[in-house]
Amino acid sequence: MKPLYRKFDPMRLAPPASLLAIAALAGCAIMSEPPRDGVALAPKVDLPRFMGDWYVIANIPTFLEKGAHNAKDSYQLDPDGSIATTFTFNADGFNGPVKSYTSRGFVLNAANSVWGQQYIWPVRADYRVSYLSADYSQTVIARDKRDYVWIMARTPSIPEADFERLKAFVGAQGYDVNLLQRVPQAGRK
**Rounded-to-integer distance, Cα 54 and Cα 80, Å:** 22
Q: What is the pLDDT of residue 7?
A: 55
Q: What is the pLDDT of residue 5?
A: 52
Q: What is the pLDDT of residue 37?
A: 78
Q: What is the pLDDT of residue 154?
A: 98
> Going by C-beta distance under 8 Å and a sequence separation of 6 or more, which residues neighbour residue 131?
40, 42, 138, 139, 140, 166, 169
| Confidence (pTM) | 0.80
Could you report the average pLDDT of every consecutive run of 10 residues in the chain (189 residues)? Answer: 51 41 37 60 97 98 93 97 97 95 96 92 89 98 96 97 98 97 81
With b for 16 or more beta-carbon neighbours within 10 A and e for fewer, the 127-149 pattern comes to: bbbbbbeeeeebbbbbbeebebb
The letter for the amino acid at 61 is P
* DSSP secondary structure, 123-153, as one string: EEEEEEEEEE-TTSSEEEEE-TT-S-EEEEE
Q: What is the pLDDT of residue 42?
A: 96
